[in-house]
Structure 1
Amino acid sequence: MESFELPKIRENEILAEVISNSICMSSHKAVIQGADHKRVPDNVAENPVIIGHELCGNILEVGNAYKDRFKAGSKFTIQPALNIPGREAEAPGYSFFYLGGNATKVIIPGEVMEQNCLLPCEADAYFKGSLAEPIACIFGAIKEQFHYETNQYGHKTGIKEQGNVAVLGGGGPMGLAMIDILLNMDQKPARILLTDIDQAKLDRAEKLFCDEKNVELLFVNSGGRTAAEILAQTGGVRFDDVFIFVPVKELVTQAQQLMAPGGCLNFFAGPSQKNFSAEINFYDVHYNRHHIIGSAGSNSEDLLDALRMIKKNRINPAIMITHIGGLDSAVQTILNLPKIPGGKKLIYPQISLPLTALDEFEEKAKADTLFGELAQITKKNNGLWSKEAEEYLLKNAERIE
């Protein structure tokens, strides 16, 4: 970790403290690619940035230019896709020297407020505000889907109502969040297929959604299976909306083979290789009206939609989290993210704590009483992270000064 003094804020800036920041695979890609990443400045080696864009915290001080809009003590989150004209690639957590989630305090520059990307967070826990950002990306992906009737040209956006949705390679946190949203949005599908090659992830997903009664859920281990074998598991049902959550070329090809006529395939997974490609059957594009899109990021409307559903408890961001840690665990977590099993890794920048899986709390309690209480709290919450667990952690863990 590095310590340095922040300068005094200017009239168009805001000083804030970061309470939580969830780690995104995009942060790992940014660190690995460095200046080659589209959002990372070319001079990052000389002028380093602060990584982390899924942050939630409290406003501490507001510059004069924004005192009519923001108040000290307010909880906030940020839409990182600023889309500044002429600087579209710049984003918090990638491009700014004083703004990123893996820091105790940050300075929010005027560009964030000018683009209406500093948003109030009314969630009852900070981790929910952090996870609103990745959840917003899923809202964006769903909105980008489109369908149309044969011999008609009007596009109807969103998933096909009472249709069939496939979430491929979706056993991780984003796939679970996708299912949670699909089950609780107004425009529901009739059936959802979740595939993964990790049986433990599928078992966890099935346990999380075991009480669902209104939408048929199918959980299929796709390891070594062809599209025909997967369709045999679904009773021959094909899918109107297909989302790909891992950038594997064979999965892209398989995804199209699972599509129904008029289906929409969304390549949601972000590849790190710029030359990533896969085989697509253009016969089906032509004759079966398959359409293929990609979805990346979100906008402020998506983030507000996520925050509203979280506030109303219509979706549960806690299902995404499998690990927690303090600021001193952030570097190694980001560097090794693809190698660490489980779901979302949640960092609390105000405390010192090794990255720890929730299911390790009981074992860790033998050496540290902090984990004993956390184990009891998570156990009564069906093994999930919670507001109560967060409050206990922030009150009792070692602080970073």
Structure 2
Amino acid sequence: MKALTLSADWVPKPGYDLTASERELRRPRNANMVWRSPRLSLGDAPDPSLLPDQVMLEVAAVGICGSDMHMYEAGADGYMIYPGLVCTPNILGHEFAGRIIEVGKAVRGLRVGDLVAVEEIQWCGQCTACRRGFVNHCLDIEEIGFTIPGAMAQYLPVRAKYCWKLDEIAAAYGEEEALIMGAMVEPTGVSYQGLFNRLHNWLPGNNVVIFGAGPIGLAAQALVIAAGAGRVIVFDPSTSRREIAMKMGASAALDPRDIDLDAAIMQYTLGRGVDYVVECAGFADKTIEPLDRCLAVNASIIDIGMGGDNPTLPIVAYKRMGVQYAGSLGHAGGPFQQVIRMMASGRIDMRQMVSARMPLDDAVAAFKRLESRQDAKIILQPN
């Protein structure tokens, strides 16, 4: 089958203390400390085989995520930008939907022909974190497109327990559009997890600031608007992405460069400040760190983006104002059902952020195109 593979050189940075497991498995938890000179290649890969608890997908749509870009791009030192768990060589792609073409003998509840979206986080269900309900923090985690083969390929076997059927979306929009929308369930689920499952304190009428108008940020915007937000202010340096944010209903979309973020937020909230800050850009040192007087009493900060340097936070100001800060990693299975229902009902339509649908043959060109950050989302269609 045809597939897009990420490769890089194993060159641990001086002073980075590899664990025995990282060294043995060549699976560092901090990819930006080990993998150098990342690169992409499109070519043939072995056809996958099926285990009894898996279904085989003919991949119909797969999105290029900011994390994919950060695995592909290198910093000034030549090392991968992405700071998380990565194995190479590996097939990329973790935001996807497909049609089931084969079912393992132990699978129940799914059949050939079903359209499904699939969880990226492959949780074990047995470790302490999973048993406590924090499956996105699984202690024995695998991640599609990061540590195990992903969906930028024609076919992919996945365990049935990670699949969510797209019947409701297909009934409303037809199968072709359901598969495109299905590829955006995962990134929208990441935003849902951060907004509604981390602090459990969302209130309609909240003034919201979102940093980053890429897929995660635009998904966060769509979700808070659907959930009754007051003013929604989006920051992104890309003119085209700001235009998309405005098209999708933002109250304001601003370039964060060379402005006083505190002053701008106070201006656009009429002096009332922000209740919910959502970091989706992956540069908390440049987005969250400067915020102080714009934070309303009892404000919440949800840090989703991965990348950049660790921020230095004004903890005294947080204490004075009762600010709550929560990191949010990936998704758990529950948001998939909620996101699918919101898409099917028309409450959110993430197709508005798709700037191009391209064949897998053009995958390398699509990554090059995204380097400028002018597109919000490109969908690859492997079949």
Aligned residue in 2 for 1:141: 194
Q: Give the SS at the match of 2:291.
A: helix
- Mapped contact 1:255–1:265 kept (Cα < 8 A): no
Report percent identity of matched pairs: 18
Q: Could you tell me which runs of 5 or more consecutive residues in structure 2 were left unpaired when the two chains were aligned.
A: 1-41, 74-78, 128-138, 171-176
Task: Return the TM-score normalized by structure 2.
Answer: 0.75
Q: Give the SS at the match of 1:264.
A: strand
Q: CA deviation at 1:38?
A: 4.2
Aligned residue in 2 for 1:82: 122
Match of 2:152 among 102, 105, 108: 102
Residues 1-400 of structure 1: pairs in structure 2 closer than 5 A: 1-6=42-47, 8-32=49-73, 38-41=84-87, 44=88, 48-66=89-107, 68-84=108-124, 85=126, 88-97=140-149, 100-108=150-158, 112-113=159-160, 116-122=161-167, 123-124=169-170, 125=177, 126-144=179-197, 146=199, 157-168=200-211, 170-185=212-227, 188-209=228-249, 217-230=251-264, 231-248=266-283, 249-271=285-307, 276-334=309-367, 337-350=370-383
Residues in 2 aligned to 1:196 and 1:138: alpha-carbon distance in whole angstroms:
17
Does the C-alpha gap of structure 1 residues 303 and 158 become closer, same or farther in structure 2, counting only changes over 3 Å?
Answer: farther
Does the C-alpha gap of structure 1 residues 35 and 142 become closer, same or farther in structure 2, counting only changes over 3 Å?
Answer: closer
CA-to-aligned-CA distance 1:55-104 (integer Å, 9 cap, x gap) = 111111112111x322111111111112225663311222224xx21111
Residues in 1 aligned to 2:165 and 2:351: alpha-carbon distance in whole angstroms:
20
How many residues are treated as equivalent by the alignment?
315
Q: Give the SS at the match of 1:204.
A: helix
Task: Return the TM-score normalized by structure 1.
Answer: 0.72
Residues in 1 aligned to 2:238 and 2:48: alpha-carbon distance in whole angstroms:
47
Does the C-alpha gap of structure 1 residues 209 and 232 become closer, same or farther in structure 2, counting only changes over 3 Å?
Answer: closer
Residues in 1 aligned to 2:277 and 2:81: alpha-carbon distance in whole angstroms:
33
Q: CA RMSD in A?
A: 2.5
- Whichever residue aligns with residue 102 of structure 1, its letter is M
- Give the structure with the higher percent strand: 2
- Whichever residue aligns with residue 259 of structure 2, its letter is R
- Whichever residue aligns with residue 106 of structure 1, its letter is L
Q: CA deviation at 1:198?
A: 3.3
Q: CA deviation at 1:314?
A: 1.3
Residues in 1 aligned to 2:238 and 2:72: alpha-carbon distance in whole angstroms:
26
Does the C-alpha gap of structure 1 residues 304 and 202 become closer, same or farther in structure 2, counting only changes over 3 Å?
Answer: same
Does the C-alpha gap of structure 1 residues 17 and 34 become closer, same or farther in structure 2, counting only changes over 3 Å?
Answer: farther
Q: CA deviation at 1:225?
A: 1.3
Does the C-alpha gap of structure 1 residues 13 and 309 become closer, same or farther in structure 2, counting only changes over 3 Å?
Answer: same
Q: CA deviation at 1:302?
A: 0.7
- Mapped contact 2:67–2:82 kept (Cα < 8 A): no
- Mapped contact 1:247–1:270 kept (Cα < 8 A): yes
Residues in 1 aligned to 2:109 and 2:331: alpha-carbon distance in whole angstroms:
23
| Structure with the greater alpha carbon radius of gyration | 1
